[in-house]
Amino acid sequence: MNNPQLDADGRLRHLLSIEGLPKRILNQILDTAESFVGVAEREVKKVPLLRGKTVCNLFFENSTRTRTTFEIAAKRLSADVISLNVNTSSQSKGETILDTVDNLIAMHADMFVVRHSQSGAAHFIAKHVPDHIHVINAGDGRHSHPTQGLLDMFTIRKYKPDLHNLRVAIVGDVLHSRVARSEIHALTTLGVPEVRVIAPKTLLPTQVEKLGVHVFHDMKTGLKDVDVVMMLRLQNERMNGAMLPSAQEYFKTYGLTQDKLNLAKPDAIVLHPGPMNRGVEIDSSVADGSQSVILPQVTYGIAVRMAVMAMLAGGQNSGSQAGSQA
């Protein structure tokens, strides 16, 4: 069965989900991102790989951080960038998603970065666009957030290069988290031998074990001897009814404090996709502490999104070209 994310030559055409992407593509994205990290340290923070291209950020759902990092990434690649908060524009006047996309195609858009509250929205658009146009999923419903999963993997690889010898714990609202799904697929595809999920039963998908993870309901046993702790945001806006007793009770049981972190390995790192709910998912002393790599995650997110866009628009030599562009 053909993978809609790859072209006939096996190169990346769209980035819709980490699920189904081969290991070589994930590694290629991470390796290409490595070449872009240094761009931010230059006096002129630009390379010309997307000069003359138009990138449209189509955000049917709000997300300041994701939209901003995609904008910065595209501009550093010298693309022209159009960012639309579609909820306050044509969609509110009754225009369909495909009408919006068709109008932008008529304006010669080359790439769409799509965020939507409905799972499968980016896939729907990708099926509709002509072959020369590329689609990146910037988060769809509970389904997937591939660039967040990739930037988390990039961050882990920077601090823990030996992925084949890691124990990783993902903690919190796995049920509603598209980030968790992307992280699990990325970790298992790249050969991380043990992935744990730690959460109350009400915040875990049914049969989550089929994703290749070990399930824990207790932080003390789940965090023991792990190398990486990935905290998840409580997705209160996606919860129907009372799934938790209270924020205070949740923090007491599943919030990451220094005492709980001490159960992990002494050199364990802490990640969080943001935005953080301090005092609910994570204590400020941990979020701001020496084991936290939460701010580097944001920095690396720009390089990873640059890598994805460069690979989509420029083929497979983007990394080497970036390194040679002074």
**Binding site as annotated, residues:** 65-66, 93, 115, 145, 148, 178, 233, 274-275
Nearest to 178 by CA among 168, 170, 190: 170
Q: Quick one: how far is CA 187 from the chain centroid?
A: 13
> What string of DSSP letters covers 215-261?
EES-HHHHSTT-SEEEE----GGG--S--SS-HHHHHHHHSB-HHHH
Contact 132, 105 (CB under 8 A): no
Which residues sit in the known binding site for carbamoyl phosphate?
A: 65-66, 115, 145, 148, 274-275
SS3 assignment, position 38 = helix
Residues pairing with 83 in the sheet: 57
List, edge to edge, every strand of the sheet that includes 111-116. 80-85, 54-59, 111-116, 134-140
Which residues sit in the known binding site for L-aspartate?
A: 93, 178, 233
Cis peptide before 275 (omega within 30 of 0): yes
Residues 6+ apart with CB under 8 A from 95: none
